[in-house]
Amino acid sequence: MGKKYIIPEGTRDLVLGECAIKKKLQIDIEELLDKWGYKEVVTPTIEFYETFNCGFQNLKEEEVYKFFDNKGKILVLRPDMTIPIARVVATKFKDIPGPIRFRYSSNVYRVHESLGGKKNEYTDCGVELIGAEDKCSDLEILLTALDVLKALEVRQYKLEIGNINFFNSVIKDLGLEEEEKLELAELIDRKSLKELDEYLDFLDVAEVYKEFFKKVPWLFGGKEVLEEGKNYCFNDEIKNSIEYLERLSKVLDELGYGEMVTYDLGMVPRLDYYTGIIFRGYVGGVGATVLSGGRYDNLISYFGENRKAVGFSINLDSVLDIMKNKKIVDKQSYKLHYEEKFQVEAFKKAEELRKQGFIVNMICDSNQDEINVQEAGNNR
């Protein structure tokens, strides 16, 4: 029996048409982001583990690929692109006034649970808007995200928006341990209602807080959810969080994006990361989030530079399966048949055709008594 050459779990090969579709999609998104004024930045695939451990205070070691350099320092394959860009801003752009607009298209690496269906290597294409006031930059980043979803050319897409402060304004009064906060946030974000009820009983918090946390997972939908959320504002900070979303909602309506946007007051990912608006993008035919982002005003300060920031990324690999029928316009292709004794003339002829923008496949054929150029049509 011959050897089986397989690839690691959570990875995939892309071949022929899949490569063309992914590349075209990436180019389209990059061109769109260029029009918004974002400049490309490229960071190393390998970073120090400490860089990410600093940015993600609750980084789980088992979720990253780790190894050692020749000095014994722990290295990782980057699991995220925002933290490397935060590092770049704090070290190479500390004297440059904002706003700074960066974009990237890079592979990132996460170790997901076996048989979970998630890829451990995928391409993130995204932006970071750094050093601009939230009232203006939040709207800009949401509109940019909506434009990216629109660029996918799918019939159905939605951007779901929340505000981490809606949760944080309540949690800070409870005196919970960090692990308890994280567990509570995860149950609400996953809308695990039975487990949430049991966990609230375990925490033994006051009844008014129990009712609040039990209701939060249900507060999602159209802009009417924001009005409903006001019924649970037992302090001014919670009210301010909702009113901020209402102001964004009004402008998005005026710009014609109202039907593409929904709201989720129970969206509470990564308590150690986000500080304001948070959002996720969905498209028809894909059962998972394809785009995610939010405001992270404290992250860059971990690297010594205090800058407000907001951004998002889209997972290009997550949408490939629904774009299999996407048409790619091919260049005209030719097959050039030639006998070995005519190879000099044949390669000169091929060079002329390539200069005209055509694709030329060279075929050495002993049965040819002259150079024979044939149209090959589609090159896929």
**pLDDT value of position 271:** 65
Cα dihedral 50, 52, 58, 60 in deg (nearest 10):
-90
Check residues 294 and 302 and name the one with the higher pLDDT.
294
Q: What is the pLDDT confidence band of residue 379, given thresholds at 50, 70 and 90? A: very low
The reported pLDDT for the residue numbered 57 is 61
Q: How far apart are CA 91 and CA 277, in angstroms?
A: 26
Residues 210-235, mean pLDDT to the nearest whole number: 90
Mean pLDDT for the chain overall:
88
Displacement of CA 189 from its chain's centroid (Å): 18
Across 2-20, average pLDDT: 79
pLDDT in tens, 46-65: 999 988 887 666 667 888 99
* Distance of alpha carbon 254 from the chain centroid: 27
Look at residue 302 in the predicted model and tell me its pLDDT: 87
pLDDT at 320: 86
Per-residue pLDDT averaged across 226-242, rounded? 88
Q: What are the φ and ψ backbone dihedral angles of 96, each rounded to 5 degrees?
A: -95, 120
Average pLDDT value for residue range 302-310: 90
| C-alpha gyration radius of the chain | 26
Which pLDDT score, from 0 to 100, does residue 335 have? Answer: 92
**Helices and strands counted in the chain (H then E):** 11, 15
Whether 264 contacts 223, CB under 8 Å: no
Q: What is the pLDDT of residues 148-162, one digit of tens each?
A: 999 988 879 999 999
Per-residue DSSP letter, 88: H
- The model's pLDDT over 168-207, given as tens digits with 9 standing for 90+, comes to 888 887 888 888 888 899 899 888 889 999 999 898 888 8
Residues β-bridged to residue 280? 160, 292
Q: Which domains are seen in the chain, by residue range?
A: 9-153 (3.30.930.10), 157-283 (3.30.930.10), 333-377 (no CATH)
Distance CA 330, CA 23 (A): 13
In one-letter notation, the amino acid at residue 328 is I
- Note the pLDDT of residue 77: 95
> How does residue 283 score in pLDDT terms, banded at 50, 70 and 90?
very high
Contact of 128 with 82, CB cutoff 8 Å = yes
Q: Taking the model in full, what pTM does it have?
A: 0.87
Tens digit of each residue's pLDDT (9 = 90 or more) over 100-137: 999 999 999 988 766 556 788 999 999 999 998 878 89
Residue 255 has pLDDT above 90, yes or no: yes
Within the chain, residue ranges assigned H as helices are 17-35, 49-55, 82-92, 134-151, 164-171, 178-189, 193-203, 207-215, 224-229, 236-254, 343-355
Q: Buried (b) or exposed (e) across 44-56, using 16+ Cβ within 10 A?
A: eeebebebbbbbb
The pLDDT of residue 377 is above 80: no
**pLDDT for the residue 380:** 46
Please tell me the predicted confidence (pLDDT) of residue 9: 81
